[in-house]
């Protein structure tokens, strides 16, 4: 009987070690795939007959990312490119960034800051982007007064010579 119990213990030990080894391999593979996923870019594109939107977020190093966004329509095309730093929680992320916004149809190229966020938990997913230019658009200046440059009262706006506008 002692021989039977001993053989049962000996035969189950390699099986238990194999199970532990498989679990470690699965954990390592999951960590590796998670690391590889974070290096892949996040890409989105939405289009219709009157509006287009595209976004690219590429992780560069640690929590530093490059991001590029495009919004186009019948009247104008606007882009934003920046660097951002991502703060993570268990289910959320928020990424403040700083870069340049640009476009056509008299849209002024200017420095801008952004806040990109994401929240994922179960079936609920929320993502968003807020971009704020730090200068006043040319079209706003010309609509106010075609002969004079009038800037709104804002700590972000600076008075520029009329010849540059």
Element (H, E) at 149: none
pLDDT score for 12: 46
From the centroid of its chain, how far is CA 111? 18
pLDDT score for 39: 78
Q: How far is CA 138 from CA 69, 104, 108, in A?
A: 21, 11, 6
What does the angle CA 51 – CA 118 – CA 108 come to, to the nearest 5 degrees? 45
pLDDT score for 24: 55
The answer to whether the beta carbons of residues 116 and 97 sit under 8 Å apart is: yes
Element (H, E) at 10: helix 2-39
Q: Is the dihedral of CA 99, 156, 133, 142 positive or negative?
A: negative
Q: What is the residue-level pLDDT of the chain in tens, covering all 165 positions?
A: 344 344 444 444 444 555 555 555 555 555 554 544 467 888 999 989 889 999 999 999 889 999 999 999 888 889 999 999 999 999 999 999 999 999 887 788 899 999 999 999 999 999 999 999 998 776 655 655 555 555 555 555 555 555 544
pTM: 0.60
Alpha-carbon span 46 to 102, nearest angstrom:
20
pLDDT score for 40: 86
pLDDT score for 31: 52
Please tell me the number of Cα atoms within 13 Å of 86 on its side-chain side. 21
pLDDT score for 146: 56
pLDDT score for 26: 55
Residue ranges in 40-164 assigned as alpha helix (H): 138-144
The answer to whether the beta carbons of residues 67 and 57 sit under 8 Å apart is: yes
């Amino acid at each position: 009987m002692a021989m039977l119990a001993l053989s049962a213990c000996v035969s189950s030990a390699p099986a238990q070690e194999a199970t532990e080894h498989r679990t470690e391999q699965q954990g390592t593979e999951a960590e590796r795939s998670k690391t590889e996923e974070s290096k892949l870019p996040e890409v989105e594109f939405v289009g219709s007959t009157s509006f287009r939107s595209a976004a690219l977020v590429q992780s560069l190093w640690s929590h530093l990312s490059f991001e590029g966004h495009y919004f186009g329509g019948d009247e104008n095309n606007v882009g934003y490119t920046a660097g951002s730093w991502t703060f993570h929680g268990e289910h959320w992320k928020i990424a403040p960034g700083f870069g340049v916004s640009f476009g056509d149809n008299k849209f002024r190229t200017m420095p801008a800051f952004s806040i990109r966020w994401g929240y994922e938990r179960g079936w609920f997913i929320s993502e968003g982007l807020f971009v704020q230019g730090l200068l006043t658009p040319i079209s706003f200046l010309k609509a106010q007064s075609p002969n004079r440059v009038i800037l709104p009262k804002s700590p972000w706006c600076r008075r520029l010579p009329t010849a540059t506008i």
